[in-house]
Amino acid sequence: MNVIDLFSGCGGLSLGFRQAGCDVTRAVEFDPGIAETYTKNHPETHMIVDDIRNIDVTGVFRAGDADVIIGGPPCQGFSMAGARIRGGFIDDPRNYLFRHYFNVVSTVGPSVFVMENVKGITTMQGGRIFKEILATFSDPELSGGRPYHVYPKLVRAVCFGVPQKRERMILIGTEREIGDMDALWRETQEDIRREHPHYFDSVTVRDAIGNLGATSADGRVVNPVPQTQYQRYLACDSEYIMNHTRTRHSPVATDRMHRVASGENFTVLEENIRSVHSGAYGRLSWEEQAPTITTRFDTPAGGRFIHPAEDRTLSPREAARIQSFPDDFVFCGTKTSICKQIGNAVPPKISYFLARLVEKILQENVL
């Protein structure tokens, strides 16, 4: 399958499709720093560093360029300007991210598209936005005569052997109607389980990061021996692995973390902690899954991101492990950028499953 990745970020979606044997021919990312990480880890893909608005209008993509288009236009672009599609949702300039994703899909005409977004997209504006999105893709007038059948699926990372309670909405669009998408979903699970018997096993924080030792100033540490099935799945043959650095916390923050036990959060501190996050200063538990890894996993007040045993937040390598990135995946850029790349990424174990599912959909369509 030839694949185009829009809003690629560091390449979590692309990685899973590549692992499934797909050819990710081109990717689009607006941020040059994030694009650097993508290119380092996906050197065979042509990276286009540009605004999606320019990509849409300059004829970069043409009909037939890809069998599959993947990507997740950020949810910040969604709003509701009117009750009807025309003159409303699709024409609202605030929705340009979704609109240009849709335009590229309409231009290229892939057999399948995969669109990832936050779980909350289904409830925005009382669900009206979600209905507008589904209606937009299925409207033959808007899609240039190539309407899509759209199948929404709420996915939970823990169900894919990922040690975090992340939930995302996946929209799978197909040119031809699928008789039983749930059956294809189950068949894909069975196929993967035959090849990787432990793929869907429940994984804890200890299973994920328990063999990662002390951090280093430059993040370069000796590649640890894998001790669990999950660690073996993500392991590499390199002598060293990267990005295992710790954040420098203030003495006040370090003292607060020291007083928080496993599974506890700021409520035990008896201080006026200013944070919008209910899990602020939360310490992870070795024997549980982590909450959703966000772009602020380096900040104690950003959520439950304190290491289970040390008075620090997760290192980028640890957060990447919890996101199911392999150990040889290297993140480039500033600390803030790296946190953004990891927190915004689709877990590669989920994207690998989606790639295998798309293969099955295409086989179904041919038959």
> Mind telling me the catalytic residues?
75
First to last CA, the chain: 16
For 227-258, b where at least 16 C-beta lie within 10 A, e where not — what string? ebebbebbbeeeeebbbbbbbebeeebeebbe
| Rounded Cα distance, 73 and 52, in Å | 10
Angle between helices 128-138 and 96-108 (to 10 degrees): 20
| Rounded Cα distance, 275 and 301, in Å | 6
| Rounded Cα distance, 90 and 163, in Å | 37
What tokens does 304 get? 């439950």
What tokens does 354 get? 């989606």
Sheet containing 167-174: give its strands across: 46-49, 23-29, 2-6, 68-71, 112-118, 167-174, 149-156
Amino acid (one-letter) located at 54: N
Which residues partner with 49 through β-bridges?
29
Q: Residue 113: which of 78, 143, 76, 141 has the closest Cα?
A: 143
Which residues partner with 171 through β-bridges?
115, 152
Q: What angle do CA 292, 298, 301 make, to 5 degrees?
A: 80
Contact 174, 185 (CB under 8 A): no
